[in-house]
Amino acid sequence: MGSPGFDRAAIRVVFLDVDDTLLDFDACAEQAMEQARGELGVGPIDFPAFLRINLALWKQLERGELTKQQLFHERWSRVFEALGVEGDGPLFEAHFRRALTQAAVPMPGAAALTAYLAGRYTLCAASNAPHMQQVRRLAQAGLLQDLKRVFTSESCGAPKPSAAFFDACFTALAPLRPEQTVMIGDSATADVAGAAAYGMHTIWFDRCRAGGTAGAEHAVQSLEEILSLL
């Protein structure tokens, strides 16, 4: 199984993205948004609009156009402005992020996948989200026990897809070569392009069933499909 150059017998470490790969970010974020609304008495918010604005901001972060602190400071202010909702954006962000830390909805097949991979490889999470937020959410979802390390942009000092992010990962896991690793994630830019540029093998989780490969060696539309690749 696998394409030329993708020899699973040579793989030592598997990296997994967290949001929209292991954890259902949309479900978690909607829960957190509704909790923050209730706590602050904010009116109805169009959740798909939040998702669009949030995705655009994270793409800016990946391109180095803003910092994570700027993203967190501006995110809900932009949502409120776009929707004409009355509210204090930074205050809502604080309540939202606190609620998000408690939200942990696994993606279908996530537990079976991490259990399978942890029995065969060193399994690590790789995420751009806040470190302790991800650690707590993975623990609540019952997935942390299968992970050897949780790497985040906060702990690495740089975000995916930068080479500096992967430099930090490989330093922590030395001696390790990029060709001995696989990166699995839903982002064509942060996960696939970043890892491929570093020399790692890649699997794109096409959770939206868009089709194509996004430049990855393999594309899957369910986490279960990964079991036959690794």
Active site amino acids: 17, 19
- Return the exposure string of 186-218: e unless at least 16 CB atoms fall within 10 Å of the residue's CB, then b: bbbbbbbbbbbebebbbbbbbbeeeeeebebbb
Tokens 């994270």, located at residue: 58
Who contacts 50 (Cβ-Cβ below 8 Å, separation ≥6)? 29, 33, 79
Helices then strands, counting H and E runs in the chain, come out as 9, 6
Query: Contact, 158 vs 164, CB < 8 A?
Result: yes
Burial (0-12, 13-18, 19+ Cβ within 10 Å), 119: exposed
Who contacts 167 (Cβ-Cβ below 8 Å, separation ≥6)? 156, 158
Tell me, rounded to whole angstroms, the distance of Cα 203 from its chain centroid.
14
